[in-house]
Structure 1
Amino acid sequence: MTKILVVDDEADLEILVKQKFRKKIRAQEYEFVFAINGIQALERLQEHTDVDVVLSDINMPEMDGLTLLSKLTEQHSILKSVIISAYGDMENIRTAMNRGAYDFITKPVDFKDLELTLEKTIKHVNQMRDTIRAVKENNILKMYVDETVLNFMDSREFEVSLTANETVEATVAFIDICGFTAISENEKPDTVVELLNNYFDVMVPAIIEQGGLIDKFIGDAILAVFKGEYHLDRAIDACLAARTKIAELPEVSERITFKPHVSIGINSGEMISGNIGSSSLRRLDYTVIGDVVNTAQRLQAAAEPGQVVISETSYNKINEFFKCRKIGEIFLKNKSKPMITYEVIE
C-alpha cells in the first residue's frame, strides 16, 4: 500500500480525493492522510513515517507549500512531492522544482492527470527504495551514489548488516561478456571502461527488476545473487532478459567490429553469505561463497556465447516453466564426476 499525504487548506479537495480514488482506497492500494498547512503536514509525517508521496498546495496559512518543500528536502530524502496549485506561472513552477518538487499540477485538478502523475511518482520512489536496498545488501558504496541515498542510510543499521554472516538458500548467476578480453587488449583504456560500463548498465536493471542483488563485478562478468521465494525462477528470468538486451545491441562501430554476447551459468542451493576479506587492510566484501557459487562459475565457463547453462538438479525444478535443451555430461574443474547440464532456451 502507498501512503499519500495531501496538504491543502481547502476542505473540498479532501472530499474530491476520497471520491476520485475510492476504488484504490477500498482495494488498499492507496491510503490518504490530510493536513491543512505545512506545519500540520510535518506533524502528520512524524505520525506516519511511511508516507511515500506528498501532494501540496502553495498558498496556505502558517506555512506555505514552498516552505514545506524546503523542510521536506532537508528532513525526508526519499519522499517525493507534487505541487497542486492555482498559481501555475513559470516563476512558481521553477521555485517549486528548485526546492525539490518532483512534479507540478495546476488547479482546477484534472484527476486523470493526477492519477498518472501519482503512478509515475510512486514508481520513482519505489525505484529509489530498491536502490537503497541494493546498497545495503550489496556493499556497493564503492560505486557512485547520490547524496539522497547516503543521507537515508542509518550508519548503525548498515554496520550491523555488514557483520551478519549466515547460511542461505539462494541462486547464483555468473554472466560473462564473451570475447571482451580482445577489446581490453587492443583498445584505449577509456574506450574499454566506457564500453564495459555501458554493457553492465544494460544488464543490471534486468537483474534488479527480478529482485536480484549485484554481488560484485568481476572483470567483464557479473556475479548476481537471488534470495527469497522462487529465487531460481527469478534468476533465470533475469538472465534471459539480460541476454536479450545484450543481443539487441549493435556492433560498437565500423572500426571496432565487436558484437556483444553473454555466456551464463546458474546454480542454486545452500551457500554462506558474509563479510569476506582482510580486517587489517580494512577491505571486506559482503559476498557469497561455497560449492554452489563455484559450480555456477564453472557452468558459465562451459557455456557458449548466448547460452544459459544450468545443472540437472536445477532443470528438474524449473522444466515445467522454461523450455530447455539437454546438453549432456560435462566435466567441471575439481569435480570427480561429470555433471549433466541443460541449456535454458526461453
Structure 2
Amino acid sequence: MRRTVLVVDDEPDLEALIVQRFRRQVSEGTLAFRFANDGIEALEAVAGHPEIGVVLSDINMPRMDGLTLLQRLQDAENPLATVIVSAYGDMANIRTAMNRGAFDFLTKPIDFADLEATVAKTLRHVAAAQEARIRRAAAERAHAALARYFSPNLAIELAAEGRAGDLAAQRRDVTAVFTDITGFTSLVETVDPAVMLELLNAYFAGMTEIVFDHDGTVMKGTGDGLHVLFGAPGDQPDHAERAVACALALDVFCEAFRVERQAEGIPLGVTRIGLHSGPALVGDFGRGRYFDYAAHGDTINTAARLEAANKTLGTRICASAAVAAGVAGFGGRPVGDLLLRGRSEPLRAYELLPSERSETPRTKAYAVAFEKLAAGEPDALPAFAALVGADPADPLANFHLRRLLNGGAGARVELP
C-alpha cells in the first residue's frame, strides 16, 4: 500500500534531495511525496489529498510557520502524524512542537539516514493507528448490534476480539422465557398511536433492564412480547434460578405498570410469562449478512406454549417441571400435566409464586386439593370448592373446580 508524505519547507533544494533519497520507494510505488512552501499551502494540500498520512514540516516559514501549522493539524478531527524539522539551536521551539502533539523531530542540517529512519517509523505508527481505528470501529458496530440482545457488560466482552466463538451455533442447556400481554391486539385498535408508542417504549425499557440485571439475553421482541434466554451465550449453570428470579421480577414490574396505565385510563392487560428448561440450538443465524442471535428447538417452543397456557389456566406465570427441578426451594403450585400442542406426552407445569406466597396456609391447602385431584379421589371437588369459597378470585382453583363440575378428573389437562 502506498503512503504519502507531505514535506513543508521553503528551502528550494530540499525537494530534489528527498526525491533522490527515496527514489527506490517512489519507483516501487510504496511511497509518494507532495511538497508545500509554507503552512497555508500545506493545509490546502491536506484538504485536497486525503491520502496524505505524514507531514514533515520546518518551523520557520513565511505566511504560516510550522508551529501554527502543527496546531491546525492537531485540531483536525483526524490529526496527521507530524514530524518537525528545525535547527539544533532552536530547541525551545522543538519542545513547544512536541508539547503540541508533534510525533517526532529532526534537526538541521538534515541527516538523510536519520530522515529515512524517522519517516519509516512514523509511517509504521500511522499504519498501526489506522488499523486500531478500523478495529475500534468494527468493535463499536459489533457492540451496537450486541447491545440489543445482551447486558451492557456482556455486550462489551463479546464485541472484544477473541469472543466471536461464543456466538457460533452450538447446543446448550438453557431456560427460555416468553412474555405476552393479554388483549393487546384489541388495545392497539383503541389507543392513540403516539400514546401506544410511549407505552411500549416504557414497558420494554423496564422489562429489558430487569432481564439485563439478571444477566439474561433478550432474543427477540415481537409486538407486545419478549423472548428471553438464560444459559447462553456464556455458561450459566444456574440458568433456571436466574430465569425464575427474573420472571418474578418481571411479574412485579408488569403488574405495577398495568395498574399505573389503568389509572391513566388505558386498559392494559395482564402480562403472561412461560418458562421451560432444556437443550436448544443457539447462535448467530444471520448468515454473515446481519446479526441475528436466535434459539431453536423443542425447549423454545414449549416455553412459548406454556406462556400461552396461562390464558386457559388464568395464571400469570407458568413454569415446567424441568425449571422447578433446576431451582433449589422452588416455590409454586402444581397446575397439572398439560398436553401442549406439538407434544405427544403431557408436561407437568407449575404456577410460579414468590417466596412469600409459596408457604402460606392457602397454598398448602391447594397442594392437598391437587393431590386428591391427581389421585382421582372424589373429595377433590369439595376441596377445590372450599378453596374457591375462601378466595373467589383464585383463578387456578376456579379452573380446576370448573373441570370437576364438568365431569373432568385427574391432573391431565388438555388445552385448546
> What is the TM-score when the length of structure 2 is the normalising length?
0.44
* 239, 251, 260: which one aligns with 2:247: 239
Partner of 2:352: 344
Matches of residues 181-220 of structure 1 in structure 2 within 5 Å? 181-220=185-224
Tell me if the contact between 1:136 and 1:158 (Cα under 8 Å) persists in the aligned partners: no
* 176, 184, 206: which one aligns with 1:180: 184
1:325–1:142 distance in 2 versus 1, CA, 3 Å: closer
* 308, 313, 318: which one aligns with 1:309: 318
**Which structure features the higher share of helix residues?**
2
Partner of 1:261: 270
For residues 328 and 153 of structure 1, the distance between their equivalents in structure 2, rounded to whole angstroms, comes to: 42
1:277–1:186 distance in 2 versus 1, CA, 3 Å: farther
For residues 233 and 162 of structure 1, the distance between their equivalents in structure 2, rounded to whole angstroms, comes to: 22
**Which structure features the higher share of strand residues?**
1
1:161–1:137 distance in 2 versus 1, CA, 3 Å: farther
Letter of the 1:206 partner, please give it.
Answer: I
For residues 171 and 256 of structure 1, the distance between their equivalents in structure 2, rounded to whole angstroms, comes to: 36
The share of aligned pairs that are identical, in percent, is 27
Tell me if the contact between 1:247 and 1:261 (Cα under 8 Å) persists in the aligned partners: yes
Partner of 2:112: none
Partner of 1:290: 297
Partner of 2:408: none
Question: RMSD between aligned alpha carbons?
Answer: 3.5
For residues 197 and 324 of structure 2, the distance between their equivalents in structure 1, rounded to whole angstroms, comes to: 36
For residues 189 and 290 of structure 2, the distance between their equivalents in structure 1, rounded to whole angstroms, comes to: 29
Letter of the 1:295 partner, please give it.
Answer: T
For residues 350 and 144 of structure 2, the distance between their equivalents in structure 1, rounded to whole angstroms, comes to: 31
For residues 195 and 302 of structure 2, the distance between their equivalents in structure 1, rounded to whole angstroms, comes to: 32
Matches of residues 8-47 of structure 1 in structure 2 within 5 Å? none
- Cα deviations across residues 191-243 of structure 1 (Å, max 9, x unaligned)? 22211121112222221111111111111111111121311001000110110
Letter of the 2:242 partner, please give it.
Answer: R
Aligned length: 207
For residues 207 and 254 of structure 1, the distance between their equivalents in structure 2, rounded to whole angstroms, comes to: 26
Q: Structure 1 residue runs of 4+, over 4 Å off?
A: 135-138, 140-143, 152-156
Partner of 1:102: none
1:271–1:211 distance in 2 versus 1, CA, 3 Å: same
Task: After TM superposition, give the deviation of residue 264 of structure 1 in Å.
Answer: 0.7
For residues 260 and 290 of structure 1, the distance between their equivalents in structure 2, rounded to whole angstroms, comes to: 29
Partner of 1:168: 172
Letter of the 2:319 partner, please give it.
Answer: I
1:139 equivalent in alignment to 2:143: no
Letter of the 1:341 partner, please give it.
Answer: A
Task: After TM superposition, give the deviation of residue 315 of structure 1 in Å.
Answer: 2.1
1:161–1:190 distance in 2 versus 1, CA, 3 Å: farther
For residues 218 and 197 of structure 2, the distance between their equivalents in structure 1, rounded to whole angstroms, comes to: 18
Tell me if the contact between 1:247 and 1:260 (Cα under 8 Å) persists in the aligned partners: no
Task: After TM superposition, give the deviation of residue 316 of structure 1 in Å.
Answer: 2.8
1:290–1:136 distance in 2 versus 1, CA, 3 Å: farther
Letter of the 2:347 partner, please give it.
Answer: M
Partner of 1:117: none
Computing the radius of gyration from Cα coordinates, the structure with the larger value is 2
For residues 338 and 158 of structure 2, the distance between their equivalents in structure 1, rounded to whole angstroms, comes to: 47
Task: After TM superposition, give the deviation of residue 302 of structure 1 in Å.
Answer: 0.6
Tell me if the contact between 2:149 and 2:218 (Cα under 8 Å) persists in the aligned partners: no
1:226–1:137 distance in 2 versus 1, CA, 3 Å: farther
- Structure 1: gaps spanning 5 or more residues: 1-73, 75-131
1:323 equivalent in alignment to 2:331: yes
Tell me if the contact between 1:272 and 1:290 (Cα under 8 Å) persists in the aligned partners: yes
Greater relative CO, 1 or 2 (CA 8 Å, sep 6+): 1
Task: After TM superposition, give the deviation of residue 297 of structure 1 in Å.
Answer: 0.5
Letter of the 1:311 partner, please give it.
Answer: S
Tell me if the contact between 1:210 and 1:234 (Cα under 8 Å) persists in the aligned partners: yes
For residues 136 and 171 of structure 1, the distance between their equivalents in structure 2, rounded to whole angstroms, comes to: 24
SS at 1:335 equivalent: coil
SS at 1:248 equivalent: helix
Task: After TM superposition, give the deviation of residue 327 of structure 1 in Å.
Answer: 0.5
Partner of 1:100: none
For residues 257 and 333 of structure 1, the distance between their equivalents in structure 2, rounded to whole angstroms, comes to: 33
Letter of the 1:276 partner, please give it.
Answer: F
Tell me if the contact between 1:326 and 1:342 (Cα under 8 Å) persists in the aligned partners: yes
SS at 2:261 equivalent: coil
- Structure 2: gaps spanning 5 or more residues: 1-77, 79-138, 355-416
For residues 313 and 221 of structure 1, the distance between their equivalents in structure 2, rounded to whole angstroms, comes to: 23
